[in-house]
A and B are shown apart, each in its own frame.
Chain A
Amino acid sequence: MKDWSSELAQQTPDPLQHTFTLTRRDIFKLVGAGLVVCAASDLSALQRGGMSDRGEEGASDISSWIHIAPDNNVTVFTGKAEMGQNIRTSLTQQVAEELRVPVDSIKMVMADTSRTPFDMGTFGSRTTPQMGTQLRTVSAAARDILLDMAAERLNAQRSQLVAADGSITDTANHHSVRYGDLLHGQQIAKVIPDDPTLESPTKWQVAGTPVPKVDRLDFVTGKHQYTSDMSRPGMLYGKILRPSAFHATLTSLDSKEASAVPGVKVIHDGDFVGVAAPDVTTAASAMGKLKAQWNAPQQISEKDLYEYIRTHPAEAEQHAGGEGGGQSRAHEKGSPDGAFASAPKKIQATYTVAYIQHAPLEPRAALAEWNGNKLTVWTGTQRPFAVRDELVKAFHLPEDNVHVIVPDTGSAYGGKHTGEAAVECARLAKAAGKPVKLQWTREEEFTWAYFRPAGVIDVKAAADADGKLASWEFHNYNSGPAAINTLYDVANQRVQYHPTQNPPLRQGSYRALAATANHFARESAIDELAHILNMDPLEFRLKNLSDERLRDVFQKAAERFGWGKQKPGADHGFGIAGGFDKGGYVAACAEVAVDRNTRGVRIVRAVEAWDCGPVVNPNGLQNQIQGAIMMGLGGALFEDVHFADGKVLNPHFAQYRVPRFRDMPKIEVELIDRKDVKPFGAGEIPIVGISPAVANAIFQACGQRLRSMPMVPKGLPSA
């Protein structure tokens, strides 16, 4: 597995260090009497004594905890955030499984900086392998404690006790006691190491099943409150005046007319200008009355993007062998140059990926409320503790004075790591002396949120005449090092990531990071080699692939698709691609149809095989994979941010095309439920297979090799 610090470095600059301290008193103030079991992410917390031995002493490095109340209700505290990936349900299932309680007796408290333990953030497909495993561990430990207590209470042999449905029963005499009754009036706390001996997934009864989304009724009735739906007494609505271009500075502001609008407050602090008003419409109208002049520097435009990326290496460029987003990562073995020169079959190609936007349907939103010098902010973010730190810095507050709460959020896809709306909104609320809510407009979300990095990828690859890979050289400029290494067996290789100095747009995380770009280039190049070798693309892959699980997803996808069983119809093509990252194995087959008159491309069918170990919720997982295919085909076919001189030129859904019902292929997903390995996440990597599978299918359909994502923003390019 990839180094964890490298993952974080790719996600966000400047990670900060934190210590979580929560005393035993704090905990019981939050939850009342009962049993609390905490997971410590390292054993030093235990060695220092932790809560169970030293009473009031803070326990560092607590990363999640559960509470069982005298009324048998269970509350789980985790810093992870729900934004559509279904972890509120899948984590509930895992607690229910190990604790032996009904799913509906469990409440999850998530992503709240005052109530949940510190968490780095919800990204990198870490929730299932890390938090899921941890919660199973604390739940199993809690069950053990309850079994000990029940043995004493029932005067029974522990081996005869069975825990089920929130009770413990002595199988010898059928005497039974509820968990809550064992705990009555007591406050018991225990810290355990994050080092489990867990029930094998083969014995799962609740985990591993399609438990429906726990808050489904709130969602279908419109009752769920996203950040943007919340309100506080006396609340005002905010709007921010955006600069004329990126990096622009304010040279003059005339706010007289805007300030004269009844109820409107104009806030001007340096380059920050915003308004707060009693309603959104008045806020927008007041903002329209502001007269501002900006001074914007000249900036790189879209037409120069790829040239710029390739020719402006970051200063850390020469640092070979390093890990992480800000540094070059070089990997070399054998003699790629010599092997390439002497091999009989070779290709050399350049691939590009454009800047794209996450475009979460709920644009960034925050609601801020001050109480003296204490600040509470509700906001949809993947990193509540990092947003708290942004607020601490922005307002020079002690950490304890800032409370960030994340309501389940209207999606993020890696796009909500930061707290722009939170900081802006808190500034407005401070000046207005009232709570303020701010929701970005769609145009702001398209312009002022960060972008998935654009990139240029150069590939040189060669094979022997019999189809064995002989050399592999792969350079990624700017888009990122995620999943950059080849998965194929090749003795001679050079793989390097080249970060760009001052990239033209503000860039950051995106679902699967650069794994999408790197898979697009790698799996397209492999296809190109297969064609010049005159080999079937699946056969060529399998000939050079020894990883059993990867071979398996390729074979399963091919079988389900009917690969090699039939030829595509006229103007149709089949393509295959696959790969691995973050514990997930994926292979995709696509059928496309091209229209030679309109030059349109339609994806007819997409089949994906997926293996991330034991499946926690098969229905939720299917949903994630189907969604990743839909989202992935947007970036593959038509999503593209147009920009010039510091301005985004297509900041609207009418101009930036996202996948819609009309774009939906027939989608089939084959889940490989592998019970003998550890579980991994699936929020990201199912997205990486679709774009190269489509590229390869387009080539078969019409003979055009498309090496730039998006491939057909205006239909097939002229041949």
Chain B
Amino acid sequence: MPQLTLEVNGTPHHVSVADEEMLLYVLRDRLNLTGTKYGCGEGQCGACTVLIDGRPTRSCQMRAQSVAGHKITTIEGIGTEERLHPVQQAFVAEEAYQCSYCTPGMIMSAVGLLASNPKPSDEEIIRGMNGNVCRCGTYPRILAAIRRAAEGGAR
């Protein structure tokens, strides 16, 4: 089994992974970071979104071996219950979830979006978030939450 060192949420982790193992499964099943979800395994729903060097990335499509040496950030790495990230705060303020299974992926995509475009228009938010599915249809509130985070200067 290949051995890797992955830097996740600022901490180096030494892991053995299966050949061809995707980052999603390393995070979830080897590092117990289960906030990152499996939704389709095809890069079509965004539930598995993490940041790689700050860019939103579908972890189900990314081989773990190819991200060794890069900075990986998951939902567990951006805020805590006591100190929520501004995007997490905005999701709470807008109640931008129902079953919430998509929520970590939505938040990570939004964090990445706002990092590259701190004051997006609604159209830019929609374009940036269109790859994330919320089957409960909470889109209007997620849009409002991202708008709110942008207005508050979320980073």
Q: Which residues does A use to contact B, with CB under 8 Å?
A: 83-86, 212-213, 216-217, 219-226, 228-229, 231, 237, 279-282, 285, 359-363, 408-411, 413, 439, 441-442, 619-620, 623-624, 626-631, 652-654, 658-662, 664, 667
Q: Is the CB of B143 within 8 A of A229?
A: no
Residues on B with C-beta less than 8 A from A363 are 38-39
Tell whether B61 is near chain A: CB-to-CB under 8 Å: no
* Cβ proximity bits B11-23 to A, threshold 8 Å, 1 near / 0 not: 0000001111110
Contact (Cβ within 8 A) B95 A222: no
Interface bracket on B? 35 or more
Question: Do A652 and B134 touch across chains, with their CB atoms under 8 A apart?
Answer: no
When distances are taken between beta carbons in the complex, the residues of chain B under 8 Å from A624 are 98
> In the bound complex, do residue B130 and residue A661 qualify as a contact, i.e. CB atoms below 8 Å apart?
yes
Within 8 A of A (CB), among B30-79: 30, 32-42, 44-45, 47, 74-76, 79
Please measure, in the bound complex, the distance between the C-alpha atom of A597 and the C-alpha atom of B54, giving whole angstroms: 40
Contacts of B81 in A (CB 8 A): 217, 221, 223
Say if the beta carbon of B3 comes within 8 Å of chain A. no
Given contacts A213-B95, A626-B138, contact A652 B40 (CB under 8 A): yes
When chains A and B are docked, how far (Å) is the Cα of A360 from the Cα of B47?
A: 12
Q: How far is the CA of A442 from the CA of B143 in the complex (A)?
A: 26
Are A228 and B37 in touch, CB under 8 angstroms? yes
The contact sample of 29 A-B pairs, CB cut-off 8 A, is: A84-B98, A213-B97, A216-B92, A217-B92, A219-B97, A220-B84, A220-B88, A220-B97, A221-B84, A221-B88, A222-B35, A361-B37, A361-B101, A409-B99, A410-B37, A411-B99, A411-B101, A411-B135, A411-B136, A442-B40, A619-B95, A623-B98, A627-B136, A628-B137, A658-B133, A658-B135, A659-B137, A660-B139, A664-B126
Which residue in A86, A221, A653 is a CB contact (below 8 Å) of B75?
A: A221
Query: Which B residue's beta carbon lies closest to that of A663?
Result: B139
A222-B104, A661-B143 given. 16 additional CB < 8 A pairs?
A84-B101, A213-B97, A217-B84, A217-B92, A220-B88, A221-B35, A222-B33, A222-B74, A229-B37, A281-B18, A359-B135, A361-B99, A361-B102, A411-B98, A653-B133, A664-B139
Q: Which residues of B lie under 8 Å from residue A217 when comparing CB positions?
A: 81, 84, 92
**CB-defined contacts of A224 to chain B, threshold 8 Å:** 100
In the complex the two chains form, is A664's CB within 8 Å of B140's CB?
A: yes
Shortest 10 CB-CB contacts between residues of A and residues of B = A222-B35, A630-B137, A84-B99, A410-B101, A222-B75, A229-B34, A653-B44, A627-B137, A219-B100, A84-B98
- Which residues of A have CB within 8 Å of B34? 222, 225, 228-229
Q: Is the interface of A mostly helix, strand, loop or mixed?
A: loop
- Chain A residues with Cβ below 8 Å from B107 are 220
Within 8 Å CB of B45, what residues of A? 361, 442, 653
Take A84-B136, A280-B25 as given contacts and tell me if A222 and B126 are in contact as well, using a CB distance cutoff of 8 Å. no
> What CA separation (Å) do A408 and B101 show in the bound complex?
10
Nearest neighbor of B16 in chain A, beta-carbon distance: A279
| Distance to closest chain B CB from A542 (angstroms) | 30
Q: Answer whether A222 and B76 are a contact pair too, CB < 8 Å, given A359-B135, A623-B138, A626-B138.
A: yes
> Do residues B97 and A654 form an inter-chain contact, with CB atoms below 8 A?
no
Task: Name the CB-closest residue of B to A617.
Answer: B95
Q: Is the CB of B99 within 8 A of A653?
A: no
| Contact yes or no, B29 A237, CB < 8 A | yes
Pair A212/B20 contact, Cβ less than 8 Å: no
Whether A626 lies near B140 (C-beta < 8 A) is yes
Q: Least Cβ distance of B146 to chain A in Å?
A: 10
Q: Which residues of B contact A411 (CB under 8 A)?
A: 98-99, 101, 135-136
Query: Which residues of the partner chain A approach B74 to less than 8 Å between Cβ atoms?
Result: 222
| Residues on the B chain within 8 Å of A660, using CB | 130-133, 139
- B residues less than 8 Å from A237 (CB atoms): 29
Complex CA gap A216/B97 in Å reads: 9
- Tell me which of B18, B37, B129, B143 contacts A279 (CB under 8 A): B18
A362 near B99: Cβ-Cβ < 8 Å = yes
Shortest CB-to-CB span from A437 to chain B, Å, is 9
